[in-house]
Structure 1
Amino acid sequence: MSATVTWTARVAAYLAYRRSFGFELTIDGRQVESFARFADQCGAETFTLELAADWARASKRPNRIRWARRIEVLRSFARFCLRTDAETIIPPRNLFGPGHRRLVPHIYTDVELRTLLVETDRLGPPGSLRPATYRTLFGLLAATGLRISEALALTRTDVDLEVGVLDIRDAKCHQRRFVPLHASVPPHLKAYAELRDRLVLRPGSDHFFVRDDGRPVDRRRVLYALHSLCRQLGWQPRGDYVHHRLHDLRHTFIVRSALRFHQQEEDVARCLSALSIHVGHAKVVDTYWYFTGIPELMAIAGEHFHRYAEGAST
């Protein structure tokens, strides 16, 4: 590869190439751009293992998991470089060990979900739309497994209350999908929409979920409301996270759906494939990732293996 081509230019070409296929690469893009600046400062001409390792260890957070994640980001870029520079060395994935540690989420029980929704009535100010907004939003997340970004991006026309379907247009990787609603959900959405239209006479947007001033609800306010409710209830998160997360509602939906498939002795492989599409995963393996470290699912998996082993020994 010519030394006259800067690493910044190489990374720009790489990102343009990947993004032409629909990849956003927001965080990864910034990481690779950071590598480019580092490599340019070093005067490096070729992508070497030493260069990659030095950049990984230059992280502000000096731990091996962080270093390993930075190496993972570089591997795709290294393959891109290899097309024009045969001396490129693709760093091994395990150079610094695993880049991810499966953190156990908080999986809500039925009682917790009902309690959380009831507790939204205590959110102020009195007579405002705020309690209904968060009650309906949290209920929708728990009932559908939507990403919080997808729920907040919903417009009025995206919510078909007659058919009972959500049109998810602003999905991850720009993949549009339609999400059918359980029959119990549309009445709650309709009640919220009617209250919203009574209280917000001049909406500032066509978003389905809005604040009292008509502007769309943002993620920061939703997370603040969740934390406030959990503090009022005296809840501490189960699992490895310090605080309750909005994503735990999505995680709860996926895990509980899988448990139901097992308990009802459904065709699990077929059901999980449908679930993967429902929640907007590009690959079914992304759905399986949600099961890691969940005791209930691990117990069921153990039971299935025990049955298999008994059958094999007879």
Structure 2
Amino acid sequence: MEILTRKFIDYIKCTRELSENTIESYKRDLYQFNEYLIQNNIEESLVNISKTTVITYMIYLQKKGRAGSTIARTLASLRTFYQYLLNEGLTRNDPTNNLKSPKQEKKFPSVLTLDEVNILLNKPDISTVKGVRDKAMLELLYATGIRVSELISLTLEDVDLNLGIIISSRESSNERIIPIGKLCIKSLDDYLSIYRTKLVKDKKADNLFVNYHGNKLTRQGFWKIIKTYTKNANIEKRITPHTLRHSFAVHLLENGADLKSVQEMLGHADISTTQIYTKMNKKRINDVYKKAHPRA
């Protein structure tokens, strides 16, 4: 098991160009499967595991209360592993062949109400340099729906306050021009005209948002910022940096924006990705109706 797993992990590292998190998931899934075989005295060798054993393991995970997504990922890990063994001629057996992944419950992402957005966006203390910067970042995220990775990559050149636009992902195939509203423009203007110069050490630095050392802000840095304001806002929802992106999309659709425009602003390659927000919007309307209508 140990040797086969190491070879497999080396293979996917070199040829599949997967992220470290994905590779760790594959490794963990394989070791947990092997642990299950040992604990249950299943004496089949790894290369000759029966389909029944894999099915029994899936049922075991289900009884343990593992989420459908976790079980589906485990099966995907085992399937990839056995495809590797087949391709390398290390087995003639694929116990995962024709096995179907469990149906996964689709969970809608967390979305803030307009009141919650206002509470969160007004939490930064704009009498401080940090507060003005944070306010500008939060306003920009909600105004445009851009990803945090895009936010921290913005440069001064990407912002035109006179036209009221930003250019996101300028260096990639996903470049798009996104309008920004007057409240966001004001927050950015306050930050750029007075406060950014107090943070930047190198006058040639062109990053729009910088940390206290004058360097480009990191994803981890922004995560800490939003966690702080979420805690201060006392909002009883799990808020991530992506929550403002989801809220941006749902609020646009609620107020009559067409799906194609929202897709373009979000930078989704496929409109089916954007359609989840339409479903969320319908669910929210249904929930409101059930709570408010006396005969619902």
TM-score normalised to structure 2 length? 0.69
Q: Which residue of 2 aligns with 1:195?
A: 194
| Structure-1 separation of matches of 2:261 and 2:48 | 45
- Aligned-residue offset at 1:180: 1.9
**SS state at 2:216 partner:** coil
In 1: Cα distance, 2:82 partner to 2:157 partner = 44
Match of 2:28 in 1: 34
Match in the other structure for 1:71: 75
Alignment match, 2:149? 149
Aligned residue in 2 for 1:90: 97
Unaligned runs of 5+ in 1: 238-242, 265-270, 303-314
What is the one-letter code of the residue matched to 2:6? Answer: T
Query: Cα distance 1:99–1:169, how it changes in 2: closer, same or farther (>3 A)?
Result: farther
Assess, with a 3 A threshold, how the Cα gap between structure 1 residues 33 and 162 changes in structure 2: closer, same or farther. farther
2:119 counterpart of 1:115 = yes
Report what 1:259 is aligned to. Answer: 254
- Aligned equivalents of 2:222, 2:72: Cα separation in 1: 32
After TM superposition, give the deviation of residue 255 of structure 1 in Å: 1.2
Corresponding letter in the other structure for 2:133 = T
Residue deviations 1:277-300, cap 9 Å, x none?
A: 431334322222345555555649
In structure 2, do the counterparts of structure 1 residues 231 and 6 end up closer, same or farther at CA, with 3 Å as the change threshold? closer
Q: CA deviation at 1:121?
A: 2.2
Please give the root-mean-square deviation of Cα atoms over the aligned residues, in Å. Answer: 4.1
> What is the SS of the residue equivalent to 2:139?
helix
Alignment check: 8 A CA contact 1:141 1:250 kept: yes
Pick one of 99, 107, 118 that aligns with 1:102. Answer: 107
Alpha-carbon distance change, 197 to 246 in structure 1, aligned in 2, over 3 angstroms: closer
How far apart are residue 137 of structure 1 and its match? 0.7
Name the counterpart of 2:270: 283
Return the alpha-carbon distance in structure 1 between the equivalents of residues 29 and 235 of structure 2: 42
Give the alignment of 1:1-314 within 5 angstroms. 6-19=4-17, 24-35=18-29, 44-45=46-47, 49=51, 50=53, 54=57, 63-65=66-68, 66-75=70-79, 87-88=93-94, 89-90=96-97, 92-94=99-101, 97-103=102-108, 105-109=110-114, 111-121=115-125, 128-161=128-161, 164-168=165-169, 176-182=174-180, 184=182, 185-186=184-185, 188-203=187-202, 206-237=206-237, 243-260=238-255, 263=256, 271-294=258-281, 299=286
Asked whether the 8 Å contact 2:110–2:246 carries over to 1, the reply is: yes
Distance in 2 (alpha carbons) for counterparts of 1:102 and 1:118: 29
Worse-superposed segment, 62-71 or 244-253: 62-71
- After superposition, the C-alpha distances for 1:54-100 in whole angstroms (9 at most, x for unaligned) are 499689x8524332332245555656666666632336343xx3344
Cα pair 2:30 2:77 within 8 Å, conserved: no
Q: 2:292 is matched with which residue? A: none
Looking at structure 2, the residues matched to 130 and 199 of structure 1 have their Cα atoms a distance apart, in angstroms, of 10
Gaps of 5+ in 2: 38-44, 290-296
